[in-house]
Structure 1
Amino acid sequence: MAVDLQQIGKRFRFYTNLKELDMEQLKTMTGSQEETLANIISGQNYLLDELVAILKHFQDLNPQWLIYGEGSMFKPMDEDGHCHDHQKGCLKKDKAAYLGQMKNMLQELDAAEVAKGHKPDVEALKAKLDELRATES
């Protein structure tokens, strides 16, 4: 299966937006230069070795999903039901706007995956965002 750098960038941008990580936080977490991170997010001019080096800093991110668009965005929970995410954060105060932004990104990502003939696993995420939005209203 071919690797699509732009799709990886869109999925990484979706993940970092979902986790509410800005560029400064990404630089601090990964020790990477802003140019490298910006290139990954924009889907151009980076090596997969750079991506792999950055991925090790995201314990809950499923690399199979990020690179190929297969499976769930997050790694499965362990036997005790704990996620492997040690950096959980809270949603921003304007949750409705945030959830709307995430839904738009999901639709963009979904359309790109469908255009390539993939059947992405984003329906569950859309439903969860709708559910969270409903609880905020």
Structure 2
Amino acid sequence: MAANLDQIGARFRFYMKIKELGIYEAGILSGTSATLISNIIAGKNYTMDELLKVLSEFKDLNSHWVIYGEGNLFKQTGHHGPIVPEKRMQHLQEMQRLLEKLDAIEKSKANQNQIEALKARIAALTTQL
């Protein structure tokens, strides 16, 4: 499966929103720059090596999910589950299901109305975080 740069950016932006990270903070935490983080989020002007360097610095983030949209957003941390407050887990799972559905619809380009409705729902859920 080929990586879609726009979707990688959307998924990484989603992770940053959950973790309440700004572009500048993500650059510092990843040991890179705000410019690189901005480029990743925008889906342009970065290499796979740069992306992998950034992703490797976020220990709880599942890089396979960011790149391919498969699996869970968070890595499992042994017996303790994902690193996220329990009260937010159901909300995050719903958002992940919507993102997966959005990916499937965008791949088929079947119906632009469905895409816009899902994007609006994801945006609404994101504002509640």
Match in the other structure for 2:12: 12
Counterpart AA for 1:13: R
Match in the other structure for 1:41: 41
TM-score (norm 1): 0.64
Whether the 8 Å contact between 2:30 and 2:57 is mirrored in structure 1 is: yes
Counterpart AA for 2:40: I
Match in the other structure for 2:80: 81
Q: Which stretches of structure 1, 4 residues or longer, exceed 4 Å deviation after superposition?
A: 105-109
Whether the 8 Å contact between 1:10 and 1:109 is mirrored in structure 2 is: no
SS of the equivalent of 2:80 reads coil
Number of equivalenced pairs: 106
Residue 114 (1) aligns with residue 113 (2): no
Counterpart AA for 1:81: H
Q: Structure 2 matches for 1:1-137, cutoff 5 A?
A: 1-78=1-78, 80-81=79-80, 83=82, 85=83, 107=98, 110-116=101-107
Counterpart AA for 1:6: D
Match in the other structure for 2:114: none
The 3 A distance-change label for structure 1 pair 106 and 23 is: farther
Instruction: Report the Cα offset of residue 115 of structure 1.
Output: 2.2
The percentage of aligned residue pairs carrying the same residue is 38
- Structure 1 regions of 5+ residues with no counterpart? 90-98, 118-125
Counterpart AA for 1:114: I
C-alpha RMSD of matched pairs (Å): 3.1
- Structure 2 regions of 5+ residues with no counterpart? 86-90, 109-121
Instruction: Report the Cα offset of residue 6 of structure 1.
Output: 0.8
SS of the equivalent of 1:28 reads helix
Q: Which has the higher contact order (CA 8 A, sep 6+)?
A: 1
Instruction: Report the Cα offset of residue 77 of structure 1.
Output: 2.5
- Separation in 1, partners of 2:101, 2:15: 14
SS of the equivalent of 1:45 reads coil
- Separation in 1, partners of 2:42, 2:100: 13
